[in-house]
Amino acid sequence: MIALSAVSEGGSGIDMSRPRFLQAAWIVIVIIAISSVLIAVPAYAGTSESKPAVTRIIWDSYYYGGVPEGQVPGQWQPFASIDSDREGAKAGEELWLRAKLPYQNNSTNQLMVYSYVVKPYEISLLVDGKPVFASDKLLPPGFISWKIVAYEAGASDQVLLARLSPHHNLEKGFEVWLGGTSDLALKLMRTEAPMWAGAIVLALLCAISFVLYLLYRSQVLFIYFAVFFASIAIDLTVLWGGWQYAIRPESLMTWGSVIHLNWYIGHASGILVTHAIVGTKGSKWIRNLGYAVMFYGIVALAGWLLFGERVQLLFYQLFYEYISPGLLLVLIVVLFRALKRRRDAEIKVFAIGNVLFVGGLAFGRAVSGQFGLFPSTQTLLTSQHALAQISWTFIGFGGALCCLGIIIIMRLLRMTRLHSTNMALQKVNGELQNANEKLSRIDDIRSNMYSEVSHELNTPITAIKGYVQLMLNGTIPPGETRYLQVIHDKTLVMERMVDDMLEIARLENKHIKFDYELLPFSEFFEHLCSKVQLDMLEQGFVFIWTPLQDESERSGRSAAIYADPMRVEQVVVNMLSNARKFTPAGGVIQVEAKIDESEAMKEKVIIRISDSGHGIIKEEQEHIFERYYRGQAAKTSEVTGTGLGLTICREIMSAHLGEIGLESSSDFGSTFYICFPLRFVDLREQEEAGEK
């Protein structure tokens, strides 16, 4: 923002939570606004005579022309006519001013000399003809300096004379104040403190902008803001000259030249801010203009190091009298064109900030007798108001800083929304990726299904076809019971496979109706295990089952489940069938039932089925309940099946609001669990229902 960067002619954006940050940001903006007013009001108030303890000297007469050393002018003109005395200003290099020093009770009084030097000139003060002050050339142009000097008070009013040479270099400001030491020190504090407060606020904004840049590296606007705020903070710190007393006099010229470079950097960063806000693809020249200003500052510093102060003064005057106003006008035109092209809120706020700054600058110049932005000749009368002009400039600048703070918040909110959108997109992308993986998995399952079903159907079909062919050829006698039994068994295998496929389709589409009833669990479990036990023993397995230890029976209640008995039996038998398939002959298969009361009011009955097979490898454990999935052990051991058994069990348990899963697996076997929500029935009512 070039309008903001031209703040003074030498006086020179969590996951965090959105509401808290906004609140903090608005507090910062309010502090900036208050600081801006404090910066302006004390300085402007100081130009009036509202403080009797500290009085600004009012000149009553003047004299143009040279005077021999050790003498004073003899002819004086009324000070009110100094503006119109153009001929007198040509009489010589010196300007003499005269004023009356009022009588003070103190034996020693203090004079404080303010000077705002753009072009070098000398200041000498005399009280009753005795020299009390002579200025030194310690700083480069563009700085405000002040000096407190003592003089001996007389018994009555005294005469103060000031000699300025060459007087035509007196363009910006020269003031003399009278008062006691403590009163003058208080005035200095009132003048400096608001600037320091503003510098602290700007340093805070600089830190915030830098942190935001670290968080959002794509937003170069934040780093431009950080440099801009840092530059202006330095400008405020050095504006009123107090810093000069913390540095050795012989080092002031070096430090002043470095601060000059900071002024150029402030202008350059302001231009870069403008480009970041209003620039488009075809406006890279604005950014290059900012870099050119920065390069100009480096060349000016190098010129001072190589050729001395005169070159430095040349660069300074050229920039602040011609280049800076020209840049301001160019970028104002750029801003107007940007407003025509796109009227988003950020550009509007930026335009308001520029209007506030330019308005403050123009009003300040109007107060000091200037109109327009290009330099014009100032007389001593108008230069007395030049220090007040800085106050009006900073009032507008404070408003402009508030607008910059709003832009930072707007940009941060936009980045927060973009971040939220990116997070949402990443979440959607993750979901899409998971969906794609599932679809890929389904494709794999489908391909596997075709392969497995084809294989499982082809095996019995091949056997049936072979036996039938042998019968037709007469190789074996027709009607041989033994071979007919084989054909019948193979037909049952195919029928079971088709039934499984039809059933899983009906379960997933909710086309199966369950006949729920309140089922006493202990009786049902004992009956089921007794029926399975004989079959297990015939096939050579050790079958161990543990009945349910229902402690609630002591209190007159019995454990029950609300389920379809046929479907519950189907799940248990299917799980036992799987255990039998993967357990070697003579192995142990165990079944136990327990009541889980770990959660209050959510009691469950858990059936655990354990085998003594070789277990399930870890990579396959998460897939065993998927449709048509068959593990490596099932494929290599020639175990028949389509991979639908566990899927059917899962769907049945889901319909009963229960759970089924793999509890553990190792090289010594696997343990599955089946879990039903538990209910309790009154034993007396159950017995009465049984008698009926």
Per-residue pLDDT reduced to its tens digit, 291-342:
999 999 999 989 988 988 888 888 888 988 889 888 888 888 888 888 887 7
Q: Provide CATH 1.20.1070 ranges for the chain.
A: 2-47+192-408
Q: Which pLDDT belongs to residue 129?
A: 86
Place of tokens 């091949």: 462
CATH number assigned to the domain covering 423-508: 1.10.287.130
Can you give the pLDDT at residue 609? 93
Task: Tell me the two tokens of residue 286.
Answer: 């604005």
Which residue, 322, 334, 268, is CA-closest to 299? 268
Q: Where in the chain is the domain with CATH 1.10.287.130?
A: 423-508
Residues of the chain whose pLDDT is less than 70? 1-52, 105-108, 171-173, 364-392, 445-459, 479, 550-556, 600, 632-642, 682-692
Q: Residue 380: which of 160, 163, 605, 181 has the closest Cα?
A: 163
**Beta-strand relationship, 542-546 and 588-596:** parallel
What's the start-to-end Cα distance of the chain, in Å?
A: 95
Cα maximum dimension of the chain: 157
CATH for the 54-66+77-179 domain, from 1.10.20, 3.40.1000, 2.40.50, 2.60.120: 2.60.120
Name the amino acid, one letter, at 76.
W
Q: Angle of helix 181-215 relative to helix 386-473, nearest 10 degrees?
A: 20
Q: What is the CATH number of domain 517-691?
A: 3.30.565.10
Hunting for tokens 């553990």 — which residue is that? 664
Kindly report, residue by residue over 331-378, the tens digit of the pLDDT: 888 888 888 877 778 888 888 888 887 777 777 666 555 444 444 444
Both structure tokens of 159 = 């005469």
- The strand order across the sheet containing 557-563 reads 517-520, 557-563, 679-682
Tokens of residue 510, six digits: 């909710």
- Cα(689)–Cα(540) distance, rounded to whole angstroms? 40
Return the DSSP state at 514.
Answer: P
Question: In a 3-state reduction of DSSP, which class is residue 406?
Answer: helix
* Sole residue written with tokens 């930026």: 350
- Of 452, 52, 475, 398, the closest CA to residue 232 belongs to 398
Amino acid symbol at 205:
L
Q: Can you list the pairs that 379-382 forms with residues at least 24 positions away whose Cβ atoms lie under 8 Å?
A: 379/82, 379/83, 380/59, 380/62, 380/82, 380/95, 380/97, 380/170, 380/174, 381/79, 381/82, 381/83, 382/83
Locate 519 and state its tokens: 């089922």
Mind listing the pLDDT tens digit for each residue in 676-691?
998 887 666 555 555 5
Helices (H) and strands (E) in the chain, counts: 18, 18
The verdict on whether omega for the bond into residue 584 sits within 30 degrees of 0, i.e. cis, is no
* pTM for the full predicted model: 0.57
Q: Which of 545, 636, 660 is nearest to 582 (CA)?
A: 636
* Phi, psi angles (nearest 5°) of residue 563: -155, 170
Q: Where in the chain is the domain with CATH 3.30.565.10?
A: 517-691
Residue 208 token pair: 């915030």
Residue in this structure with the two tokens 């979440």, named with its chain if needed = 427
Distance between CA atoms of residues 491 and 478, nearest Å? 18
- Cα torsion 468, 472, 478, 483 to 10°: value is -20
Q: What is the rounded CA–CA span in Å between residue 62 and residue 80? A: 9
**What CATH topology corresponds to 2-47+192-408?**
Rhopdopsin 7-helix transmembrane proteins (1.20.1070)
Distance CA(23)–CA(21), nearest Å, equals: 5
Element (DSSP H or E) covering residue 277: helix 252-278
CA 455, CA 475: separation in Å to the nearest integer? 27
What is the phi-psi region of residue 521: left when phi exceeds 0, alpha when psi lies from -120 to 50, beta otherwise?
alpha
Query: For residue 248, how many other CB atoms are within 10 A of its CB?
Result: 7
Q: Which of 396, 368, 358, 392 is nearest to 44 (CA)?
A: 392
Distance CA 522, CA 510 (A): 29
DSSP 3-state assignment of 140?
coil
Query: Which amino acid makes up residue 397?
Result: F
Q: How far, in whole angstroms, is CA 391 from its chain's centroid?
A: 35
